[in-house]
Structure 1
Amino acid sequence: MSAVHVRGLRIAIDGRTLVDGIDLDVAAGECVAIVGESGAGKSLTARALLGMLPDGARMTADELRIDGADTAGLSESGWRSVRGRRIALISQDALAALDPLRRIGREVAEPMQIHGLHRGRREEHVVQLLASVALPDPERRARDRPHELSGGMRQRALIASALAADPAVLVADEATTALDATVQARILTLLRSIADEGRAVLFISHDFAAVRRVADRVLVMREGRIVERGPVAEVMSSPRDAYTQALVDASAPRAHRAPREPSDVLLQVRDVSKRFERPAVVGASFTLQRGRTLGIVGESGSGKTTLARMLIGVEAPDAGRLQWTSPQRIQLVHQNPLGALDPRWTIGRSITEALQAAGVPRGERPRAMASLLAEAGLDERLSLRRPRELSGGQRQRAAIARALAADPQVLVLDEPVSALDPTVRARMLELLARLQTERLLTMVFVSHDLAVVAAVCDDVLVMRDGVIVEQGAVAEVFAEPRHPFTRELIAAGL
């Protein structure tokens, strides 16, 4: 019997059908992945299995059984008896999912309390669970709060919490998307082991590399429907549907382009250090060459973003110096354009405000705004929309257009494609390559995605615990890494 058995699942919001006739089975000991672009209906499908649909959503199903229980017509009180005990969720953002005021031990114990399990020995069971997901020093970590753990540790704690009531089914919704390559590899190994131990795992992702590592079968969704399904190796190697083919092509490792010729030095960084509660950057030294792209890679907390913020002048170094050979106009493109763009303003107003700050005369701003939108590949009609009315890719293009309003010579991009679907990411990288050529831009590309860095960067810095442990031309560093940490990163991410 399948641990998850779904027939004819349909979900509508405001009269619009977003999930249309989904059939799904996941057996005990099996990991099934659902892939597709944003808006395909992946997360809605997953959340329907937990009775966690958004307000206003209407769900119908011919059959919906979780761990043998008929859940098709459950009330909210009925779902509370199922959620956590028969099926549990591992969400993408562990920092948001975990209560910031509660210690990890209490968070993990909560499902046991809700379902009346392990009375009298919950603390002992919490430590056992944290140890089972390979969280270091579980007794100590049970007393920590979420902000005291790294991203990978938080995700392990969230998995422990999901396992606390011993559910038959785990739903992992983009559970590894925001993690560094080495951390992601460890979490994927953990999820695979959980399936191998006999649980059913439903893995929602837009990362085909992750799906290849963890899943047995894959379902491809588009516009609320499943367009292809089958064993992972078969679907990835010989996709039948044109949409699946496009997804597979976009997620394939990009060819390493020929590096740009060495140019004159634009920036010299010498022994730069920055400390907050602990050292963030320690003794960083490197050069940035005009017209080339420098990648900065490393795990969370390695100092990548702090170094980037010093390059744009948002942070000042405590020691050392950054010496530009001539004055430069520098702009930053954030990882999260939804947070960087004012949610109250239309896209047109945000870009116009940037043009005003750059000194563009009032009468020229409408034409300049339209030109920037076109350069970023956006229709001028989108200037009337607010950020939340755009897709993730459109928002990132709008953020790039806004950054270009100042006519920068240097563009610093902090994880600009990490949250994008494969096809959207591929188009975004093509856009950046075109803009660099047309505008003769120098770029600094901060990323945890080594495959992307290998494809778009000329040079690379590898950071660990605030220290640059290796640097050089991308082709050389990735082909023959000298430092053990670089070798570990490459093994996990390429």
Structure 2
Amino acid sequence: MSAVHVRGLRIRIGAQAVVDGVDLDIAPGECVAIVGESGAGKSLTARALLGMLPDGARMTADELRIDGIDAAGLGEASWRALRGRRVALVSQDALAALDPLRRIGREVAEPMEIHRLHRSDRQAQVVRLLASVSLPEPERRARSRPHELSGGMRQRALIASALAADPAVLVADEATTALDATVQARILALLRSIADDGRAVLFISHDFAAVRRVADRVLVMRAGRIVEHGGVAEVMASPREEYTRALVEASVLRPRTPTRPAGELLLQVRDVSKRFERPAVIGASFALVSGRTLGVVGESGSGKTTLARMLIGVERPDSGVIEWASAQRVQLVHQNPLGAFDPRWTIGRSIAEALQAAGARRGDRSAAVAALLAEVGLDAELGRRRPRQLSGGQLQRAAIARALAADPQVLVLDEPVSALDPTVRARVLDLLARLQIERGLTMVFVSHDLAVVAAVCDDVLVMRDGVIVERGPVADVFAAPTHPFTRELLAAGR
């Protein structure tokens, strides 16, 4: 019997059908993935299995059974009895999902308290759960708060919490999207082991590479419908639909062919260190030359973002020298453009503000906003919208347009495509490559994704625990890494 059995699932928001006639079966011990671009209906389908649809959404289904229970038409009280006990969720952002004021042990114990399980040995069960997801020092980590854990540790704690009431079905919604390569590989292996232990796992992702590692079967969604399904190897090797072929091709980034010669020296970094509660960057030294792209890779907490913030002057080094060859206009493109834009302002107003700061005359700003939007492939009409009215790809393009308003010579990009689906990611990377040629830009590209770095960067720094452990041309470093950590990163990214 299927742990999940769905026929004719439909979800409407207002007059629009956002999920239209989805059928889904997941057997115990099986991992089924749903892939597709942003807005395809993947997450809404997953949340329908948890009774957690957004306000204004209306769900109907011909059949909807979760662990043998008929869930079609259930009210909220009945869904609360199912959630955690029969079906549980692991979401993308563990930091947002975990209460910042509560200790990890309390988070993991909560589903047991709700469903009145393990009353006599609840604390011991919490430690066992944390150990089962390979969280190091589980007794100590149970006393920690979320901010005291790394991204990978938080995600493991969230998985432990989801497993606390022993559900038959686990829904993982983009649960590895923002993780670096080595941590992602470990979480995917953990999810696969959870399926192998007998649970049904639904894995929502836009990343075919992750799907290949964890799933048995895959369903491809587009505009609320399943357009293709089958075994993962079969669908990836011989996709029938053009849409699926585009997704698969976009997920495989081609390494850049070295074509750009070294330019003039723009920046010299010598023995730079920065400490917060602990050392963040230790003795960093490297050079940046014009017209090329320098990649900075490493695990979460390796010091990548701190180094980038020192380059743009947001942070000051405690010691060492950051020396630009001459006055350079340097701009940052954030990882999260939604958080970087003022939600009260239109996109056009935010870009106009950047133009004002760059000295543009008031009468020229409206035309300049339209020109910048056109340069990044956006219609001028989008300038009248607010950030939440744009898709992720549109918003990242708008963020690049705002950075270009100051006519920079150097762009520092901090994880600019980590949250984008493969086809949108490919378009943004193509945009950056075009802008670099047309504007003669020099770029510093911070990323945890080695495939992205190989596709866009000429040179690379590999960081671990604040230290640059390897550096050189991307082709050389990735072909013949000399440091064990670089070899581990490359192995995890394959």
Same fold (TM over 0.5): yes
Instruction: Give the corresponding residue for 2:473.
Output: 473
Instruction: Give the corresponding residue for 1:437.
Output: 437
Instruction: Give the corresponding residue for 2:121.
Output: 121
Instruction: Give the corresponding residue for 1:243.
Output: 243
How much does 1:270 deviate? 0.2
**What SS does the corresponding residue of 1:220 show, helix, strand or coil?**
strand
Instruction: Give the corresponding residue for 1:61.
Output: 61
CA deviations 1:153-198 (Å, max 9, x no partner) are 0000000011111111000000000101000000000000000111
Instruction: Give the corresponding residue for 1:261.
Output: 261
The aligned runs of 1:227-306 (5 Å cut-off) are 227-306=227-306
Instruction: Give the corresponding residue for 2:353.
Output: 353
Are 1:158 and 2:155 counterparts? no
How much does 1:259 deviate? 4.1
Instruction: Give the corresponding residue for 1:96.
Output: 96
How much does 1:265 deviate? 1.1
How much does 1:493 deviate? 1.3
1:364 and 1:76 map into 2 onto residues whose CA distance is 54
Instruction: Give the corresponding residue for 2:106.
Output: 106
Query: Which structure 1 segments of 5+ residues have no match?
Result: none
Instruction: Give the corresponding residue for 1:204.
Output: 204
Contact 1:412/1:445 (<8 A) preserved: yes
1:140 and 1:362 map into 2 onto residues whose CA distance is 58
**What SS does the corresponding residue of 1:228 show, helix, strand or coil?**
strand
Are 1:376 and 2:376 counterparts? yes
Instruction: Give the corresponding residue for 2:484.
Output: 484
Are 1:398 and 2:388 counterparts? no
* TM-score (norm. length: structure 1): 0.99
CA deviations 1:442-493 (Å, max 9, x no partner) are 0000000000000100000000110001001000000111111110001111
Contact 1:264/1:289 (<8 A) preserved: yes
CA deviations 1:277-299 (Å, max 9, x no partner) are 11110000000011100000001
Question: How many residues are treated as equivalent by the alignment?
Answer: 494
How much does 1:71 deviate? 0.6
How much does 1:256 deviate? 2.5
AA at the equivalent of 1:382: L
1:77 and 1:373 map into 2 onto residues whose CA distance is 47
AA at the equivalent of 1:393: G
Query: Which structure 2 segments of 5+ residues have no match?
Result: none
AA at the equivalent of 2:489: L
Greater shift in the superposed pair: 236-245 or 256-265: 256-265
**What SS does the corresponding residue of 1:327 show, helix, strand or coil?**
coil
AA at the equivalent of 1:443: M
Instruction: Give the corresponding residue for 2:328.
Output: 328
1:84 and 1:47 map into 2 onto residues whose CA distance is 13
Instruction: Give the corresponding residue for 1:189.
Output: 189
Instruction: Give the corresponding residue for 1:219.
Output: 219
2:350 and 2:144 map into 1 onto residues whose CA distance is 41
Contact 2:255/2:456 (<8 A) preserved: no
**What SS does the corresponding residue of 2:296 show, helix, strand or coil?**
strand
AA at the equivalent of 1:58: R
2:351 and 2:106 map into 1 onto residues whose CA distance is 46
**What SS does the corresponding residue of 2:317 show, helix, strand or coil?**
coil
Are 1:309 and 2:309 counterparts? yes
2:254 and 2:475 map into 1 onto residues whose CA distance is 13
AA at the equivalent of 2:48: A
1:54 and 1:367 map into 2 onto residues whose CA distance is 38
The aligned runs of 1:134-153 (5 Å cut-off) are 134-153=134-153
Instruction: Give the corresponding residue for 1:456.
Output: 456
Are 1:17 and 2:17 counterparts? yes
1:283 and 1:295 map into 2 onto residues whose CA distance is 18
1:181 and 1:455 map into 2 onto residues whose CA distance is 16
**What SS does the corresponding residue of 1:165 show, helix, strand or coil?**
coil
How much does 1:369 deviate? 1.3
Contact 1:257/1:456 (<8 A) preserved: no
Contact 1:295/1:445 (<8 A) preserved: yes
1:54 and 1:387 map into 2 onto residues whose CA distance is 19
How much does 1:260 deviate? 1.4
**What SS does the corresponding residue of 1:18 show, helix, strand or coil?**
strand
1:5 and 1:175 map into 2 onto residues whose CA distance is 22
**What SS does the corresponding residue of 2:256 show, helix, strand or coil?**
coil
Contact 1:87/1:167 (<8 A) preserved: yes
CA deviations 1:416-447 (Å, max 9, x no partner) are 00000100000000000000000000000000
1:457 and 1:96 map into 2 onto residues whose CA distance is 32
Contact 2:296/2:461 (<8 A) preserved: yes
CA RMSD in angstroms, aligned pairs only = 0.7
CA deviations 1:11-54 (Å, max 9, x no partner) are 01112110000000000000000000111000000000000111
AA at the equivalent of 1:43: S
The aligned runs of 1:28-47 (5 Å cut-off) are 28-47=28-47
The aligned runs of 1:416-435 (5 Å cut-off) are 416-435=416-435
How much does 1:209 deviate? 0.5
* TM-score (norm. length: structure 2): 0.99
2:379 and 2:73 map into 1 onto residues whose CA distance is 44
2:250 and 2:258 map into 1 onto residues whose CA distance is 20
1:257 and 1:356 map into 2 onto residues whose CA distance is 38
**What SS does the corresponding residue of 1:79 show, helix, strand or coil?**
helix
How much does 1:81 deviate? 1.2
**What SS does the corresponding residue of 1:43 show, helix, strand or coil?**
helix
| Percent pairwise identity | 82
